[in-house]
Amino acid sequence: MRADFYREDEPDTVLGSAWWNGRSAEVSSEDAEVRGTLTRLFRSTPIVVDDPSLRPAGSTGEAVVQPGSLEWFRLVAVSRTASTDMHVRLVPEVTNKTGWDPASAYRTFRQVVTRMESPATPVSEPEPEVAKPL
């Protein structure tokens, strides 16, 4: 996943980017000030968010997300950017290696996952009957 940072008045001009490499965030920018800001935003510290999906059922309050996960990267990009004059755009960088066909939306999600996860088994069809000469 990549997070592109831009100013509100120029959404097409990317000031800097941060990438999730699977363990931590890597930042880059041609502008040293923006690069410093992104480095500060993505420092490896826990983040506190008020997100009900991160709390155990029946609990209230804020949740603490520790660094080292894609969820942490996403939450940092969205919540810590509010303290700057930049905005963020999250860009998934997934390559299609599984054969997923977006046009096959007629299948349910479970059917798609089942097809992608199960080994291909050939379907045996019965031999066609051939008329034998008398």
Residue 32 lies in a domain: yes
Range of the domain at 71: 2-91
Q: Which amino acid is at 87?
A: H
The answer to whether residue 109 is domain-embedded is no
In a domain, 20, yes or no: yes
Q: Give the Cα separation of 12 and 9 in Å (integer).
A: 9
Q: What is the pLDDT of residues 15-55, one digit of tens each?
A: 999 998 888 899 999 999 999 999 999 999 999 988 888 88
pLDDT score for 125: 47
Q: Are 3 and 16 in contact (CB under 8 A)?
A: no
Domain count, the chain: 1
Q: Which two tokens stand for residue 45?
A: 């510290």
Domain annotation covers residue 15: yes
Q: Is residue 73 in a domain?
A: yes
Residue 115 included in any domain: no
